Amino acid sequence: MTVPLPVLLLLTSLVPAAVTFFLPQEAHRLRNALSLGGALLKVALIVAMLFAVAGGASYEAGLTPAPGLMLLLRIDALALLFVSLSAILWLLTTIYAIAYFGTKPQLSRFFGFFSLCVAATTGIALSGSLFTFFIFFELLTLSTWPLVAHKQDAPSLAAGRRYLLYAMPCSAALLWAIVWLESATGPVIFAAPTDFGTLAPNAQRAIFALLIVGMGMKAAIVPLHGWLPAAMAAPAPVSALLHAVAVVKAGAFGVIRVVHDVFGMDRMSELGLGLPLAALASVTILWGSVRALGQREIKKRLAYSTVSQVSYIVLGISLIGPFAVIGGLAHLIHQGLMKITLFFCAGIYDERAGVKRIEGLDGLGPRMPWTSTCFSLGALGMIGLPPMAGFVSKIYLGLGGLQSGAPWVLAVLAASTLLNAAYFLPLLYRLWFREPAPEVQGDERAPALVAPTVVAALGALGVGALAAAPVSPLAWATLLAERAWLP
Amino acid sequence: MNALVVLLTLPLGGALAAVAFPAGVARGAALAAAAGTVAAALAVASEVAAGAPPRIALGGWPPPLGIALAADGLSAALLVTTAAVMAAVLLAARHTMAAGLAGPRIAFGFWPLALMLWAALNAVFVSRDLFNLYVGIELLSLAAVGLVAIGGKPEALAAAMRYMLFALAGSLLYLAGVALIYAAHGALDIDLLASRRPSGTDALALALMTAGLTAKTALFPFHVWLPPAHAGAPAPASAMLSALVPKASFVILLRLWTEALPDEASPAALTLIGALGVAAVVWGSLGALAQSRVKLIVAYSTVAQIGYLFAVFPLLPLAQAAWSGVIFLALSHALAKAAMFLAVGQWMAAAGGDRLEELRGLAQAMPMSAFAFALAAVTLAGLPPSGGFLGKYMVMTAAFTAGQWVWALPMALGGLLAAAYLYRPLAALFAREGASVAAPSRARQAVPLALAGGGIALGLASAEPLALLANGQPPIQAVVR
């Protein structure tokens, strides 16, 4: 019996998850081997598929659990864009997490849910229909909660409660929209254009709004972003998962699917839905940056920065023009690499130097050169300095704004860049130019923490500097945009 | 011997044996009878699934002279779910209902009452005769009241008394309806009634029977007896009472409104029932939110979940998916609710009480039963990939396709409320502090986990149960007037 590729890809995280739950706490080696093995296998599978899909191939696997219900997994170019990001970052985060937790308690639970989260994210990426997407989207919600609340102390439990408080109503909105839509159109398959039939334009707009509420909560679109800064109570690997590997990315990816595949560019323009969404994204970009300025805790500042940066993706998608879409899609990868670097560094500062607040960073640069260099690269990338990844995204978004007749996007980008600089540069100044406080010790004798961080930072540098290469995320995003606009 | 007959006689025989023999033998006999009954339920289900639903006319007399027993997809699904729940409950009770732990009174009374309850449930699920259904549901109420009172504490006796009053009033109303039907048609067989010539008293009869059965099902506003009764009984008894007993009167109602007298189902009446269901969802959920004892939270949650079942009634004549959806809701509630009560029972035994603060940190010592509670919560909140989600999804789809999206609202909002009231016990369990307690063995914790897993599996592998249900599903044309 041969297992179809999409299912195999799902199993690479589902099997480690299922087994890990039943391992005793002491079985460190077996647990680590399972997580790492699954992650490596998944990356290998994806690399094998990349070339085939670039050549136009797609893989499909379907299952009909009940009449009228179809679970459809499909690997197309967009799916592969997201799944390769999450797979590579999962691998890095797993290495990091193993070193980060060492022999702390409740690790089987942690890695079990961690793998389950990644399985859900893979499912989201590979979903070929809206219903399948919803199932995995909810699975992600549920498997994230034990990770957010992992420390089980009062702040973590409060963060977990906050997360569910946002997630549950928004998922109800999402389900409502899906049932409403599908009762009129039949099952919504991403690969086929949706036939909206007799649905009135205003009903279509309402469905779109509900879908965006459902997705936007995970993408931390203002005003549904409050859970994300609160979730910084979780351990650093969880922050990486929330901000880069899985959760907010799943939300942004959902917005892409809704705009691209459920509604489609033509209908978006017809119904006038692009502009409101772009406006919402712009508000989020600016509001997140403004709020980031006021934070004194490193992880909280980074969290608000995510709120702002993820909406770049939404902005790019909502502008409905080839350049903007390329910028948005590429930023899905770029932001992931840069933000995971920053959160890895924040975790190292916390673990190895006991530094949580911005004041503590004074003079840490020379003491922790590897970490601080990576942090600086990530921060400069976020600001959009060439040749980092963020620069490429911003250029394309700006061009896209002009191309789509929305020159105000340039103002948003400029303001956001200034704000980014305002909240990141002081950190770099403190790292490299301030005198260290005498009581702060810091060392980097944790290669398993530093190595993934360096790889992620190099990745963020590489995808920017080599954006013109034939296999960069930008090239992939261009391929996607070409397929969407060129018949 | 026909498996249908075994389903009724074997648990009754086991109940008798449990009374007659000394304690050790009694428990063995009860467990043997239980194993046989599970096998019979599976046999009936496989016959139905194979397209040969069993049917017998008792004494060889066909209706209207005699009484017919028959199983269709609905019966089979409920028989199997009941068997699963009962098997788990009796396995759990093997430890907790022993004389050493629970006292001689409970150890003596529990087994016969539980088996009698099981026989009554099976009788209700396979009877095709309205009077026979009355006998079944009366036996069921007696066993259930006995199980509530079994602890012997004053508040349990008071709760049992209140339950008894509601159950008896319900029985009388139902019986009055049956009498009207018999007077008008001279027949009580469901299939014969479906093809009867309508009579002027049918609407009144249906109203009386419905009022009686909703009182027994604890539909708002007849729910007041339920929380104290279900929270006051010992945990394995609560599991049966909450998971299974309301399903019996619900199934009779479902058969009355969709099989026997579908032509009497006026939109106004259906809307009234649906509205009471919505009220139950809201009221039960608010009640659960206000409680600080986890057993009461779980009991109030039953009030809310019963509300779901009735909120679907207005959709029954309009969309095929509503019928299967509501049965999925009922089945997954049975599995999840039994899992919850069994898990709560283990915590109470370990922590000495069921107040939320007493449960703090118990997940550390009992990760499996805590996980079981969490999985059951996923089912009750209707989150994917559980059976509860699938039921909710089918009902919501039915509401939209019928153009009655209002009835999708209670499904969506009820899920949120369920998540809200179930979050509190989960957060308490998951807290870090907590005294070390003597936890039950992993094998015993696995019992609620298996039930809760069943609730999830119902969603993951829904094709088979749906195919089973399709056997004998009342056609939607028969329901539309």
Pull the structure tokens for residue A486.
């060129």
User: Between B384 and A438, where is the model more confident?
Assistant: B384
Mean residue pLDDT of chain A comes to 90
* DSSP H or E stretch at residue A81: helix A77-101
Chain A, window 53-72: residues with a beta carbon less than 8 angstroms from a chain B beta carbon:
64-69
Checking if the pLDDT of A475 tops 70, the result is yes
Which among A66, A109, A164 is the nearest to B390, CB-wise? Answer: A66
Question: How far is the C-alpha of A387 from the C-alpha of A464, rounded, in Å?
Answer: 6
User: Between B103 and A472, where is the model more confident?
Assistant: A472
Partnered with residue B57 across adjacent β-strands are B68
Checking if the pLDDT of B125 tops 50, the result is yes
Checking if the pLDDT of B422 tops 60, the result is yes
Do residues A359 and A296 touch, judged by C-beta distance below 8 A?
A: yes
A202 vs B: CB within 8 A:
no
Go through B153-184 and write b for each residue having 16 or more CB atoms within 10 A of its CB, e for each that does not: eeebeebbebbbebbbebbebbbbbbbbbeeb
Q: What is the pLDDT of residue B34?
A: 94
Pull the structure tokens for residue B352.
């000495």
- What digits encode the pLDDT tens for the residues A325-372? 999 999 999 999 999 999 999 999 998 888 899 988 888 888 899 999
- For the segment B433-461, the average pLDDT, to the nearest whole number, is 87
Q: What is the pLDDT of residue B434?
A: 65
B401: helix, strand or coil: helix
- A 10 A CB-CB count for B335 gives 29
Instruction: Decide if B396 and A68 are in contact by the 8 Å CB cutoff.
Output: no
User: Between A486 and B208, where is the model more confident?
Assistant: B208
Question: How far is the C-alpha of A313 from the C-alpha of A218, rounded, in Å?
Answer: 13
* Rg, C-alpha atoms of chain A: 21
Which among A134, A138, A157 is the nearest to B431, CB-wise? Answer: A157
Mutate to test the interface with B, among A109, A141, A162, A168 (most CBs of B within 10 A): A168
Closest residue in A to B324 (Cα) is A66
Q: What is the pLDDT of residue B480?
A: 44
Report the 3 state secondary structure along B67-120.
Answer: CEEECCHHHHHHHHHHHHHHHHHHHHHHHHCCHHHHCHHHHHHHHHHHHHHHHH
- What digits encode the pLDDT tens for the residues A310-333? 999 999 999 988 899 999 999 999
Checking if the pLDDT of A1 tops 60, the result is no
- For the segment B456-462, the average pLDDT, to the nearest whole number, is 89
Measured CA distances, A55 to A47, A128, A476, B86 (Å): 13, 19, 12, 57
Closest residue in B to A187 (Cα) is B397
- Determine the distance in angstroms separating the CA of A282 from the nearest CA of chain B, rounded to an integer: 31
Question: How far is the C-alpha of A9 from the C-alpha of A80, rounded, in Å?
Answer: 11
- For the segment A189-210, the average pLDDT, to the nearest whole number, is 89
Q: What is the pLDDT of residue A57?
A: 78
pLDDT-derived band at A486, boundaries 50, 70, 90: low
Residue B298's identity, in one-letter code, is V
- What digits encode the pLDDT tens for the residues A416-454? 999 999 999 999 999 999 888 777 777 777 888 999 999
Question: How far is the C-alpha of B469 from the C-alpha of B196, rounded, in Å?
Answer: 25
- What digits encode the pLDDT tens for the residues A11-27? 889 899 989 888 888 88
% of chain A residues with pLDDT over 70: 98
% of chain A residues with pLDDT over 90: 58
Q: What is the pLDDT of residue B319?
A: 86
Instruction: Decide if A152 and B400 are in contact by the 8 Å CB cutoff.
Output: no
- What digits encode the pLDDT tens for the residues B287-315? 999 999 999 999 999 999 999 999 999 99
Of A66-75, A267-276, A364-373, B291-300, the least confident: A66-75
- Determine the distance in angstroms separating the CA of A248 from the nearest CA of chain B, rounded to an integer: 20
- For the segment B80-106, the average pLDDT, to the nearest whole number, is 85
Question: How far is the C-alpha of B319 from the C-alpha of B403, rounded, in Å?
Answer: 10
Q: Which residue has the tokens 């029954």?
A: B316
Mutate to test the interface with A, among B368, B373, B413, B423 (most CBs of A within 10 A): B423
- For the segment B24-34, the average pLDDT, to the nearest whole number, is 87
Pull the structure tokens for residue B90.
């009796």
pTM for this model (two decimals): 0.93
Using CB atoms within 10 A of its CB, is residue A3 exposed (0-12), middle (13-18) or buried (19+)?
exposed
Pull the structure tokens for residue B19.
């009374």
Pull the structure tokens for residue A480.
């996607």
Question: How far is the C-alpha of A381 from the C-alpha of A156, rounded, in Å?
Answer: 30
Q: What is the pLDDT of residue B38?
A: 96
User: Between B42 and B29, where is the model more confident?
Assistant: B42
pLDDT-derived band at B479, boundaries 50, 70, 90: very low
Which among A67, A157, A184 is the nearest to B427, CB-wise? Answer: A157
- For the segment B326-336, the average pLDDT, to the nearest whole number, is 96
Mean residue pLDDT of chain B comes to 91
Residues of B in contact with A155 (CB under 8 A): none
Of A50-59, B98-107, B279-288, where does the model show the most confidence? B279-288
Write the DSSP assignment of A223-235 as a string of letters.
TS-THHHHGGGS-
Closest residue in B to A65 (Cα) is B463
Instruction: Decide if A68 and B462 are in contact by the 8 Å CB cutoff.
Output: no
Question: How far is the C-alpha of B301 from the C-alpha of B285, rounded, in Å?
Answer: 6
Q: What is the pLDDT of residue B258?
A: 92
- C-alpha angle with apex A218: A212 to A223, nearest 5 degrees? 70
pLDDT-derived band at B435, boundaries 50, 70, 90: low
Checking if the pLDDT of A213 tops 90, the result is yes
Which among B385, B397, B423 is the nearest to A135, CB-wise? Answer: B385
Do residues A418 and A322 touch, judged by C-beta distance below 8 A?
A: no
Do residues B126 and B69 touch, judged by C-beta distance below 8 A?
A: yes
Which among A64, A66, A149 is the nearest to B430, CB-wise? Answer: A149
Q: What is the pLDDT of residue B99?
A: 65
B182 vs A: CB within 8 A:
no
Instruction: Decide if B415 and A182 are in contact by the 8 Å CB cutoff.
Output: no
Do residues A45 and A53 touch, judged by C-beta distance below 8 A?
A: no
Instruction: Decide if A175 and B412 are in contact by the 8 Å CB cutoff.
Output: yes
- Determine the distance in angstroms separating the CA of B432 from the nearest CA of chain A, rounded to an integer: 5
Pull the structure tokens for residue B167.
């159950």
Question: How far is the C-alpha of A204 from the C-alpha of A281, rounded, in Å?
Answer: 20
